[in-house]
A and B are shown apart, each in its own frame.
Chain A
Amino acid sequence: MNQTPLHVLLADDDEDDRLIFKDALEEVKVKTRLTLVKDGIQLMEYLEKTEDEYPSIVFLDLNMPRKGGVECLREIRSDKRLRNISVAIYSTSASEGDIEDTFIKGANVYIKKPNDFGSLVRVLEEVITINWQYHNSDLNRENFVLSL
């Protein structure tokens, strides 16, 4: 059954990570279309200027040159127009402190980058499906937290 594809955006400075993410996302059952940016500056410029609909979910790498993930998260959460975007932190580190801290700052999802392709597909499948539910079932996004 066809559905309007869910708009997904990934901000990550590592080219390999972007490619793997793209391939993994294509394996996910929910139909998506992906926008890729290389760092936080590009991300915020994209959100500022785009005439396209906003992404439903943005995946943020924490460590990026010029502007990192936490900074972007703060800017996204303080902009009324961007409130409805789900933010997923996509990071190599996963200390309890980091995780709680980003949730408190308004992240919806925290993903520790998996080491193998299969796990990444599974993780994305879960995040995208749940996000799709929030997108389509009028759930309260403020209460949307998911740690993987």
Chain B
Amino acid sequence: MKLHVRYDMVTVCKVVLQEQLEKLGITFELTTLGELELKDSITVTRQEEINQVLKKYGIELLDDQKNIFVQKIKDTIIELINTDEKLSSAKFSDYLARKLNYSYGHISKLFSDVTYTSIENFIILQKIERAKQLILHEELTLTEVAWKLNYSSVQHLSNQFKKTTGLTPTAFQRIIKMRRLQSGKPT
């Protein structure tokens, strides 16, 4: 025999948190989804206790350290890509490892765990964002953009642009221009 159940994850989580934290004698309020507001601040050991208790329910306290480190990785990449100079041809992996003082394997694993995407994809996305800016605001030609962002050829840049956005750089440029024209007009 089969019985069907319906459950509401949000309620389940709330009840679990309430019951378990009450047991530990912690007074709290669940502000928005995923944020616990504690009456009193608690020690790291205490946080570890909470983690242990919640683990079997698949609930985990967010590790701020991880998030902070990922932010550092992102900042390093963004800073590197948004330089006014020509992008260095040094490998991103070497640069990140040197600058952040961890092995690239460690950096890359942590990044994927937190952001759902790989560092490589993040770099491509950032480079294409930079290419968009250069095309729109500095009105560089594709050849100039390719050179500046260290693509081996215009073709390589165009392919990556198309793969990332679904549009050719030319179509992108046309769309944004038209969009600006239209939003200037009263509707």
Contact = CB atoms under 8 A, between A and B. Distances in A.
B150 interface: no
B116 A104 contact: no
Interface string A126-148: 00011011001101101101111
Interface stretch (B93-101, B138-146, B173-181): B173-181
Given A1-B66, A143-B136, A129 B117 contact: yes
A148 B178 CA distance: 21
A89 B117 CA distance: 23
A74 interface: yes
Contact of A74 (B114, B164, B187): B187
A53 B174 CA distance: 33
B166 A146 contact: yes
Interface stretch (B21-29, B38-46, B125-133, B152-160): B125-133
B62 A1 contact: yes
A74 B183 CA distance: 10
Interface string A20-62: 0000000001100000000000000000000001000000000
B37 interface: no
B132 A1 contact: no
Contacts of A103: 175, 179
Contacts of B89: none
A5 to B, nearest CB: 7
Contact of B34 (A2, A130, A140, A147): A2
A110 B182 CA distance: 19
A100 interface: yes
Nearest to B74: A137
B166 A147 contact: yes
Nearest to B9: A33
A105 interface: yes
B60 A143 contact: no
A106 interface: yes
Contacts of A100: 171, 174-175, 178
Given A1-B62, A147-B167, 14 more contacts: A1-B60, A4-B33, A5-B33, A53-B32, A78-B187, A106-B179, A132-B116, A137-B74, A145-B166, A145-B172, A146-B164, A146-B166, A147-B166, A148-B166
26 contacts: A1-B60, A1-B114, A2-B34, A2-B59, A4-B34, A4-B35, A5-B34, A30-B116, A53-B32, A77-B183, A100-B171, A100-B175, A100-B178, A104-B175, A104-B179, A129-B116, A132-B115, A133-B115, A136-B115, A137-B74, A140-B129, A140-B133, A143-B136, A145-B167, A146-B164, A147-B166
Interface of A: 1-5, 29-30, 53, 74, 77-78, 100, 103-106, 110, 129-130, 132-133, 136-137, 139-140, 142-143, 145-148
**Closest CB pairs A-B (n = 3):** A147-B166, A104-B178, A103-B175
